[in-house]
Amino acid sequence: MATTEECRAALDKLSDHMRGAEGDVRSAAGLDRSVSCHITDLDVTFAGRMADGAIDVRETLAGPPREKAEIRLAMTGDDLVALVAGELNFAKAWGSGRVRLEAGLRDLFRLRKLL
């Protein structure tokens, strides 16, 4: 089972990948939205902001998200680490329910370019 520190490192790595993206992926990563990622098996939520092509994690909270972020993710720590490492396909994980993504319809259309 991934630790809180490993999950935070995975989010930092994802942010680095987003920052270095180009084209359509860079455009999708350029959203300015509040974001939360609930790690279900650790019952920890990382909350912050997606802006300027990166994710800025501002808080690590015990339990589920306290506020409804504009973009919300939920998954196990192992799945987060595997997604960022390229070992788990996001679309398949989302389709099977291993990963939950909630956002407004327009944001979902833009975010699909990141997938």
Q: Please check whether residue 115 lies inside any domain of the structure.
A: no
Q: Please check whether residue 100 lies inside any domain of the structure.
A: yes
- Quick one: which of 112, 101, 67, 87 has its CA closest to 13? 87
Decide if pLDDT at 8 tops 80: yes
Q: Which domain range does residue 87 map to?
A: 4-110
- Quick one: which of 92, 88, 90, 78 has its CA closest to 114? 90
Task: Assign residue 81 the CATH number of its domain.
Answer: 3.30.1050.10
Q: What is the pLDDT of residue 113?
A: 64
- Of residues 51 and 3, more confidence is placed in 3
Q: What is the number of structural domains in the chain? A: 1
Q: What pTM does this model have?
A: 0.89
Q: What is the pLDDT of residues 33-71, one digit of tens each?
A: 999 999 999 999 999 999 888 889 999 999 999 899 999
| Amino acid residing at 102 | E
CA distance 91 to 76: 16
